[in-house]
Amino acid sequence: MKKRGKGIACIFYGTGYGNGFPDVSRAYARLLKDGKVEISVGATEVGQGAKTVMVQIAAETLGLSDKDIVLINEDTSKTPDAGTAAASRQTYNTGNAVKIACENLREKILDEAVKLLGVNTKVGLHIKDGLIHVKSYPSRNVSLKEIAENNKELKAEGIFTAQTTQMDENGQGAPYWPYTFASCAVEVEVDTETGEVKILRAKHVLDVGRAVNPTLVEGQIDGGFAMGVGYALMEDIGLKEGRMTNGSFEKSIIPTSLDIPEIEKVLIEYP
């Protein structure tokens, strides 16, 4: 006989190392001679999209297109430490370091623009499409390339230190900052003869803060869901006297494309 059931689970999940552990990301930003901006950051791309979001964050902060950002990453001779690609921390923590580096560089660029434009303050100066202009007077402008040519080297650093507080002796407190809130609902069909479980449909709702790249966020939801299906229904380490007895894909079964349903995904971006 086949029976159906529904389940819902709600979680909150801390970003970063948490619990008082030092959590620091660094990034450099540098204006290149051709007017592009180089971002150096140790954030490792493991498929989560670090390379994409760091470029997006830099471009938006500087008012440039993503084609005007040159990303140097995963090169320990050129990049400052951005911590590990773990704990869901790169987009938030290192992304903030990139944002701060770009804001610092932006101030230096505007200081130079003030001189070249012959205006008396950087208040009201605006960067758009590689040009800096007085907001209400776009025809009076100077390009980032001209600024680069007129200066030895403009560069800035960004350091972001995440708020992490150690819990008290009773395990109470607020060890992480920030948190992601999520809920997941599934409907399954169970074959009561064989025990086989089929997932008929699933819905995921995540409060992610601001989704820098919604496609990548959805990809993380899909991947996380598939891993969860594996843990719940299939996977078992199979230890015997400390050794794994099923150390191959023949015996250690993980989900395939046939085991995963389409997932309805909702991103809540607040604030």
Partner 1 sequence: MNLKKIDVNINGKDYCLEVEENLRLIDLLRDKLHLTGTKEGCGEGECGACTVIMDGEIVNSCLVLAFQADKCRIITIEGIEDEIIKNSFIEEGAVQCGFCTPGMVLAAKSLLDKNLNPNEEEIREAISGNLCRCTGYNKIVSAIKKAASIKRGGDSE
Query: Rule CB under 8 A: which residues touch partner 1?
Result: 46-49, 215-216, 218-219, 221-227, 248-250, 254-258, 260, 262-263
Q: Least distance in Å: CB of 220 to partner 1?
A: 9
Closer of 109 and 206 to partner 1 (Cβ): 206
CA dist., res. 119 & res. 125, Å (int): 10
**Distance in angstroms (rounded) separating the CA atoms of residues 161 and 67:** 29
Cβ 201 to partner 1, closest distance in Å?
Answer: 12
Nearer Cβ to partner 1 (46/167): 46
Integer-rounded Cα Rg, in Å, for the chain is 24
Question: Is the CB of residue 86 less than 8 Å from the CB of residue 142?
Answer: no
CB of 222 to partner 1, least distance (A): 3
Identify which of residues 83 and 255 has a Cβ nearer to partner 1 in the complex.
Answer: 255
**What is the rounded distance in angstroms from the CA atom of residue 252 to the CA atom of residue 245?**
9
Joined together, the tokens standing for residue 196 give 């086989």
**Angstrom distance (rounded) from CA 90 to CA 105:** 21
CA dihedral for 56, 58, 59, 62, sign (positive or negative): positive
Comparing CB distances to partner 1, the nearer of 37 and 229 is: 229
CB of 118 to partner 1, least distance (A): 45
Q: How far is the CB of 215 from partner 1 (least distance, A)?
A: 4
**Shorter beta-carbon distance to partner 1: residue 185 or 226:** 226
User: H helices within the chain, ranges in order?
Assistant: 50-62, 95-117, 144-149, 214-229
